Homo-oligomer: A and B are copies of this chain.
Amino acid sequence: MKIAVLGTGMVGRTLAGALSGLGHGVVVGTRDPQATLARSGPEATGAPPFSEWHAANQHILLETFADAASEAELVVNATSGTGALAALSSAGSANLAGKVVMDVSNALDYSQGMPPVLNPVNTDSLGERIQSAFPDARVVKTLNTMNAGLMVDPGRLAGGDHSVFVSGDDADAKKAVTELLQALGHRDVIDLGDITSARGAEMMMPAWLRLWGVLGTLDFNFKIVR
């Protein structure tokens, strides 16, 4: 499958590498490919510059959001929560129409200091905003409740004995995403419901951030025991 991963941060890189490793044709989308490749030194998140990762993954092309999305059959939104709607607008609604948009972002707002708050929250979610802004896309919220390393290698923690959620209005889109998740090693994919259930998944982030702090590791995840 042709997949466009929008976003060049750690989540985007990790997903692009893993999906390519599964045999998919993957391109990464960014606002300005030249500028992204020209950046040197660590990013604001501490990640090494994208050019370093790209040098080791030259088979994964870096393109504009629009070029990446136009050829793709499935689009992954791995941008920051605050940049998601702008990135998808750059990709272009025509390039998203009819396609599965797998949204893995979190609407974290750091503008009021630490810890970040969610925006939108409670009566809305980023997943819903994306679906609403691009009504012809088939948005599925997933994977936002865990670290990037576990997104693509769940088996490295407890043999994969933990859970991942999908939320979305389109049953076929959720099926396609579920199959992709299972191919990555996810054993317990829970369908939370329509896209409004993304509120539930997104609102687990404040607990996740606290757990990161108190457990001192990113290698943890939620399991729904039943």
Contacts and interface: CB of A to CB of B under 8 A. Distances in A.
A157 B215 CA distance: 24
The oligomer's copy count stands at 2
B190 A200 contact: no
Main secondary structure of the interface of A (DSSP, over half): mixed
A219 B225 CA distance: 9
Interface string A66-105: 0000000000000000000000000000000000000000
Interface residues of A, number: 41
Contacts of A208: 200
Contact of A221 (B123, B215, B225): B225
Nearest to A219: B226
A157 B121 contact: no
Interface of A: 112, 115, 117-118, 121-123, 157-158, 161-162, 165, 190-193, 196-197, 199-201, 203-204, 206-211, 213-215, 217, 219-226
